[in-house]
Amino acid sequence: MADAQRPSEQLSGNYTVVARRYRPKSFGELVGQDNISHALGNAIVSGRVGHAYLFTGARGVGKTSTARIFAKALNAPEGSTPSPDNSSDICQAIDAGEDMDVIEIDGASNRGIEEIRQLRANINVRPSRSRYKIYIIDEVHMLTTQAFNALLKTLEEPPEHVKFIFCTTDAEKIPITVLSRCQRFDFAPVGMEAIQNRLQEICEREGYRAQTDALALLARRAAGSMRDSQSLLEQIFSFSTGEISVDQVHALLGTADEGRLLELVDALKSYSALGAMQQIESAMQQGADAGQLAEQLLSYLRDLMTVSVGGGPELLKLANPAGYVNLQSLTADWGLQTILASIQILDEALVRMRYSIQPRTLLELALVQICQLKHLANVGALIEAVGRGSAEPSKASPTAMVEKKNTEQVTQTAKTSVAATPLITSTSVPSVLEKRTTTNQLPLSSSEPLSKTAVPNTGSTEARSRATQQIPADSMAYGSADEPATRQRAEPKVARPTEAVRMDQVSVPQPVESSGSAAALEQWRKATTQIEGMLANFASLAQSVEPQGSDKWCIVFPPGSQKSVEYCEVPQRKQALLEAVGSLLERPVQISFRVQAGEAPKPTEPASTSSAARSKKLRQVAEHPLIERICQLLDGEILRVDSGQQPGPVTARPAIIRDEPAEANFDD
């Protein structure tokens, strides 16, 4: 049926592809570039034809075809005209690329300076039968810098019979010196409707019946390239048997229909990760490709974004304009912010899928991440609640969790402050936290002795409250200057003998071992014994440890020990100290260092055989500028000094310093 209507050359074996057979041969047949056709035609009519033109644009938009049409218009036998006679010998030779006066050069394979020198040598030869000698250089951006420089003078002042037409897909790579010598025309991508109409015309001439939606799919897939759409159409010609349907296009291209995309987006809108993965599985079983499906979904999300910002049906790229109302309902339920986040996630997944051997897994990962976006829905409410300081957030909202965490931090800070205060004496209140537990709070008179009952700092809140009520009202003062003296006194309750707590029966809590400076210093020295090398020597110089809460120590070094502090504050060495202290205390402790104010003590010369002398010499060697510089360059550490004398300012010679634990010998 269709075979009988096809050209005879297809049946004889001399087949020419669709993209070449239906290549435009006049300005009127050029699709999607009306402005450029009009400008070039007017230049010919007015006689204002330049000597160099640059045609730039994406692939398959008609750059080379326009260059040939322009060459035919200039060299037409009847004279330069926008509408040459395509049946003439010159026009047919130009269409076939065989004309002697229209030289087409591939810039990718003739990119060197030698080819440009040959062009310059032949440029002065006049055309054989035409009016102009026209050089069409395709992919001109592939020429080398030396080739461009060699062409500059000829390009600026060519002979009157020479015209240059450059075609490129990447004008940014062309030197500005070349661009300034050319008239530049930017070819825009061909519109989808124009491509669809051209494909419909080709199908009719080839004897095929095609569904409108099928041709629309091919036009969308071409992404503005007329040549790509014609190549895809030729694949469909080989796949079909006279009628082109939507299912055939999806099966050949490995894409999914719009119904599948709508179901997939509906699953994402419902935050159903399982439903989205099931849709992917179903699409794969029907022959869809993971990469193509991801690109389709990204285009579909783009259409949803367009609808959500108020775009009309004419701006849709993939979705059917007939379903515009459904898209509006979908975007209203999903929200613009979620759509934007989904597009970003899917775009990043597409970039990774191009270099992965598991593209489907990355696609499913992206869809699952999109389904988790519901947890970000209350971010605005969270920020507002934190700024407002709401005390009663919803139990299930992220605000509740954040405020709960803040409460825990405040509680921990209060505990730390209590732990850092001195122990309570027999003349003070038992617990700072119970300062406001009762209304029986009045200033303490010096003439009234404190009751012999006391409140233990342990037990439940109810027990502490009962015990607190046993204390006379006058004894509830804390000696604070800001306490009001006119506070109303509540009637005190008389403590029963059975409920009274004797002072000698109260167990006063003792400080933990790490809270005292002396105990902490002893533990610090134990921790330094677990470390080897110079770090242990420098760390052992600490003269005291100041606990700052339950999980932070300040290591105090004697005056003049700035070098020791700098040595210990190196991140790797400080981490080793943290691990040693944490291992000893069985809990993490943060440490900081400082040097006590004052003058450094005068150095004393201990006996040469003592361990203190060896440690001092080790530190002196480490502080030597030359040795310090060597250790920085090699990232090494001094573990031992064998020499019995101090290294001189210049004569210190390092033997070996290695990154791994090793010994370094220094001799005079």
CA-CA-CA-CA dihedral for 165, 166, 171, 175, to nearest 10: -100
What is the DSSP secondary structure assignment for residue 564, as one 8-state letter? H
- The predicted-structure confidence for 87-101, as pLDDT tens digits, reads as follows 999 999 999 888 999
pLDDT-derived band at 390, boundaries 50, 70, 90: low
Residue 407, token pair as written in the block? 């409460």
The segment with the largest mean pLDDT, out of 483-497, 501-515, 522-536, 641-655, is 522-536
- The predicted-structure confidence for 352-384, as pLDDT tens digits, reads as follows 998 899 999 999 999 999 998 877 655 556 666
Q: Is the pLDDT of residue 512 over 70?
A: no
Each as own residue / partner, the long-range contacts of residues 283-290 (CB below 8 Å, 24 or more positions apart, any chain) are: 283/256, 284/360, 286/256, 287/250, 287/251, 287/254, 288/250, 288/254, 288/255, 288/256, 288/260, 289/254, 289/255, 290/353, 290/359, 290/360, 290/363
User: What would the mean pLDDT of 644-654 be, rounded to a whole number?
Assistant: 44
SS3 content of the chain, % helix, strand, coil (to 5): 50, 10, 40
What is the DSSP secondary structure assignment for residue 491, as one 8-state letter? P
Closest CA to 342 of 271, 403, 244, 397: 271
User: What would the mean pLDDT of 53-67 be, rounded to a whole number?
Assistant: 94
CA angle, 399 then 404 then 407, to 5°: 130
Closest CA to 267 of 251, 282, 246: 282
Q: Is the pLDDT of residue 103 over 90?
A: yes
pLDDT at 413: 44
Question: Regarding beta strands 552-557 and 183-187, do their DSSP bridges make them parallel or antiparallel, or are they unpaired?
Answer: unpaired
Is residue 199 within 8 A of residue 210, CB to CB? The reply is: yes
Least confident range of 118-132, 162-176, 243-257: 243-257
Q: How far apart are CA 606 and CA 240, in angstroms?
A: 100
Q: How many CB atoms are located within 10 Å of the residue 609 CB?
A: 8
pLDDT-derived band at 403, boundaries 50, 70, 90: very low
Is residue 620 within 8 A of residue 593, CB to CB? The reply is: no
User: What would the mean pLDDT of 430-451 be, rounded to a whole number?
Assistant: 38
Q: How far apart are CA 66 and CA 69, in angstroms?
A: 5
> Which residues, other chains included, contact 207 with Cβ-Cβ below 8 Å and sequence gap of 6+?
1, 2, 3, 4, 5, 6, 242
Is residue 75 within 8 A of residue 132, CB to CB? The reply is: yes
Q: Is the pLDDT of residue 609 over 70?
A: no
pLDDT at 667: 43
Residue 542, token pair as written in the block? 């600490």
pLDDT-derived band at 430, boundaries 50, 70, 90: very low
Is residue 255 within 8 A of residue 297, CB to CB? The reply is: no
Q: How far apart are CA 382 and CA 121, in angstroms?
A: 75
Residue 537: in which H helix or E strand, if any? helix 534-539
**Residues 425-435, buried b or exposed e (16+ Cβ, 10 A)?**
eeeebbbeebe
Q: Is the pLDDT of residue 132 over 90?
A: yes
User: What would the mean pLDDT of 122-136 be, rounded to a whole number?
Assistant: 92
- The predicted-structure confidence for 518-572, as pLDDT tens digits, reads as follows 888 888 888 888 887 778 888 888 888 888 777 888 888 888 888 888 888 888 8
Residues in the chain: 668
- The predicted-structure confidence for 270-303, as pLDDT tens digits, reads as follows 899 999 999 999 888 888 889 889 998 999 999 9
Least confident range of 117-126, 137-146, 253-262: 253-262
Q: How far apart are CA 498 and CA 504, in angstroms?
A: 16
Question: Regarding beta strands 133-138 and 162-168, do their DSSP bridges make them parallel or antiparallel, or are they unpaired?
Answer: parallel
- The predicted-structure confidence for 168-203, as pLDDT tens digits, reads as follows 999 999 999 999 999 999 999 998 889 999 999 999
Q: Is the pLDDT of residue 488 over 70?
A: no
pLDDT at 471: 42
What SS3 class is residue 455? coil
Residue 267, token pair as written in the block? 């699953």
Closest CA to 581 of 645, 637, 621, 536: 536
Is residue 664 within 8 A of residue 654, CB to CB? The reply is: yes
Enumerate the β-bridge partners of residue 165: 53, 136
pLDDT at 487: 41
Q: How many CB atoms are located within 10 Å of the residue 189 CB?
A: 17
Count CA atoms closer than 13 A to 462's CA, side-chain side: 0
- Domains present along the chain, CATH in parentheses: 33-187 (3.40.50.300), 192-253 (1.10.8.60), 258-375 (1.20.272.10), 517-595 (3.30.300.180), 611-667 (no CATH)
pLDDT at 433: 34
The pLDDT mean for the chain works out to 75
> Backbone phi, then psi, for 57, in 5-degree steps?
165, 180
Sign of dihedral through CA atoms 304, 306, 311, 315? negative
> Which residues, other chains included, contact 35 with Cβ-Cβ below 8 Å and sequence gap of 6+?
none
Q: Is the pLDDT of residue 402 over 60?
A: no
Longest dimension (CA), the chain: 132
What is the DSSP secondary structure assignment for residue 473, as one 8-state letter? G
Counting residues of the chain whose pLDDT is more than 70, the rounded percentage is 69
- The predicted-structure confidence for 252-276, as pLDDT tens digits, reads as follows 887 887 888 888 998 998 899 999 9
pLDDT at 176: 94
Is residue 77 within 8 A of residue 90, CB to CB? The reply is: yes
Task: Sheet with 552-557: list strands edge to edge.
Answer: 544-547, 552-557, 590-595
Closest CA to 75 of 87, 93, 91: 91
Amino acid of residue 575: Q
pLDDT at 466: 46
Least confident range of 329-338, 364-373, 390-399: 390-399
- The predicted-structure confidence for 143-154, as pLDDT tens digits, reads as follows 999 999 999 999
- The predicted-structure confidence for 452-463, as pLDDT tens digits, reads as follows 334 444 444 444
